[in-house]
Structure 1
Amino acid sequence: KAAALEYADKKIRINSVGPGYINTPLLTSLDEPTMKALVGLHPIGRLGESEEIAELILWLASSKSSFVTGTYHAADGGYLAQ
């Protein structure tokens, strides 16, 4: 947030993204009970997809979010909201 304030007058926007557990090849080695436990941590009932995180980042980098700066976006299926 401090950096976003420091650079706002230079038209530089600074935001951050905090992804939750994402369905990636790294997780394919987990056994079924462990995978079910990870899914169960998310109120939305599933893991995130890398495309969902990419879409959020693309939006933040686009002119469609030109008034957004100094924000943290938890893309975690509701994990932090618990």
Structure 2
Amino acid sequence: MPLLSKTNKKQQEQDGTLKDLLNEDMLEQLRSKKSNLKKQEKDRQEEEQRRKAEERKRREANKSFEELLNESNLDDPKAFKDK
């Protein structure tokens, strides 16, 4: 019986080790996936910022004279006062 008991303990230790290795592998895969998702999200946000900047630039370039005049401060008499 003592021999059987030692064998069971060794088997349990090996099973535990295998379980730990699988968990470590799983954790590493999850960490890798998390890292990849963070990078994808960062890339997506950067692309969105570039797209918005290009859109602003295009809208600014396509503004009519009236729109530009309305946005200017030419109607503000304080803008022309001597300082």
TMscore range, shorter length: under 0.3
Query: Which has the larger Rg?
Result: 2
TM-score of the pair, normalised by structure 1: 0.22
- RCO higher in 1 or 2 (8 Å CA, sep ≥ 6)? 1
TM-score of the pair, normalised by structure 2: 0.22
Q: Which has the higher strand share?
A: 1
